[in-house]
Amino acid sequence: MADYKRPTVSIVGAGNVGEHVANLIAIKELANVRLFDLPKKLDDKTFEVVKGKALDIKQMAAAIGVDVDIRGYNVTADGQGYEPLKDSDIVVITAGFPRRPGMSRDDLLTANVNIIRVIAERVALYAPNAVVIVVSNPVDVLTYAALKITGFQKNKVIGMAGVLDTARFKTFISQELKVSISNINCFVIGGHGDDMVPLLSVSNVGGTPLKELFTKEKLEELINRTKFGGGEIVNLMGTSAYHAPGASVVQMVEAILKDKKAIMPCSVYLEGEDARFYEAYDVCVGLPVKVGAHGWEEIIKINLSEEEKQMWQKSVKSVKEGIERIKELKLI
């Protein structure tokens, strides 16, 4: 087998989101991929599903004529088997429970933080130079947990949510106006929950502000559909989305591997440095940043309207409540 000298992206959690991230990285021939997951029990038998998925994706790569190496590794819940994380350029964390209908993302907090803790410790041990992309929910709080547990520089730990929320907002605008996605410019910032903040002050279609294109009521309807976009899919599928989340992660992976300096909304650690623009301290929350080889490299400062500032504060407060919860429970 050829030894492909490419960057390495490790994905911990080869479930719906993880396998779609691997699949897209392979299709785009961006990197070699290492997948990590627990063995699965079915009818009293144990299956090495992660190895099967890796082999399947590798054969897909052959079918479409791309050269990437994809490998799968069994790990245990107490953190054994993570040595192959070594030399990873990026580690994507998609391990943990997805929500079911009727649940909020915050309902996943205690179960998923316990999973993230073990993984983050192993990432720090075996891949100390990697950029970490956190996907597991509630993503802002778990990004904070991953940052604190790895002890990495703040720029190296990024939560994925804003790219997805923005893609959803663009989808609904594009459907309504019958206009190409490529003509729509917008950002959704704040925490990845019901309080996320679509930034109307900088959103436009081909240069025309959204507020001039829609009635107040219609705009409200599109914003609400975006805010509850994850829940809409959970109610349709019984589990959460993975195609758009997978593609959103790969946007970030590509920006890092190609040092694109791409501006995208991501969940990052704020310590009050740009309080004039985004007032927040000791919290991970979504805002536009420049993403390149070093992770997130710069905060993009946007003058929020008074209304946006209030929505931002509310969103930050709800993420902080989650952080306080895991601190009180001594889970980090």
- Burial group, residue 56, by CB count within 10 angstroms (0-12, 13-18, 19+): middle
193 binds ligand OAA (CB under 6 A): no
**Residue given tokens 């002890």 in the structure block:** 151
Identify residues 17-36 at the interface with ligand NAI (CB under 6 A): 17-18
Both tokens of residue 50? 């992660």
Q: Which is nearer to ligand OAA, 127 or 132 (CB)?
A: 132
Q: 192 catalytic, yes or no?
A: yes
Identify residues 222-241 at the interface with ligand NAI (CB under 6 A): 239-241
Helix (H, G, I), strand (E, B) or coil at 10: strand
164 binds ligand OAA (CB under 6 A): yes
Instruction: Count CB-CB contacts under 10 A for residue 43.
Output: 5
State which H helix or E strand residue 219 sits in. Answer: helix 216-227
Q: Which is nearer to ligand NAI, 173 or 252 (CB)?
A: 252
Helix (H, G, I), strand (E, B) or coil at 258: coil
First to last CA, the chain: 42
Q: Mark 186-205 with x for binding to ligand NAI (rule: CB under 6 A) and - for no binding.
A: ------x-------------
Number of continuous H segments (helices) and E segments (strands) in the chain = 10, 16
* Position among 33, 75, 127, 146 found at the interface with ligand NAI (CB under 6 A): 75
Is 104 labelled as part of a ligand binding site?
A: no
137 binds ligand OAA (CB under 6 A): yes
Both tokens of residue 294? 């070093």
Q: Which is nearer to ligand OAA, 32 or 248 (CB)?
A: 248
Is 303 labelled as part of a ligand binding site?
A: no
Q: How far from 235 is each of 51, 102, 228, 230, CA to CA, in Å?
A: 31, 8, 11, 9
Smallest distance from ligand OAA to CB 234, Å: 5
319 binds ligand NAI (CB under 6 A): no
- Burial group, residue 159, by CB count within 10 angstroms (0-12, 13-18, 19+): buried
Is 32 labelled as part of a ligand binding site?
A: no
Both tokens of residue 188? 């959704």
* Position among 10, 32, 94, 318 found at the interface with ligand NAI (CB under 6 A): 94
97 binds ligand NAI (CB under 6 A): yes
95 binds ligand NAI (CB under 6 A): yes
Is 18 labelled as part of a ligand binding site?
A: yes
d(CA 128, CA 89) in angstroms, rounded, equals 10
112 binds ligand OAA (CB under 6 A): no
Closest CA to 6 of 23, 27, 31: 31
252 binds ligand NAI (CB under 6 A): no
37 binds ligand NAI (CB under 6 A): yes
Side chain identity, residue 29: E
Binding region for ligand NAI (CB under 6 A) out of 130-138, 198-206, 211-219, 220-228 = 130-138
d(CA 69, CA 4) in angstroms, rounded, equals 7
* Position among 84, 198, 229, 245 found at the interface with ligand NAI (CB under 6 A): 245
- Binding footprint of ligand OAA on the chain (CB under 6 A): 98-99, 105, 137, 164, 192, 230-231, 233-234, 240-241, 245
Catalytic positions, written as ranges: 192
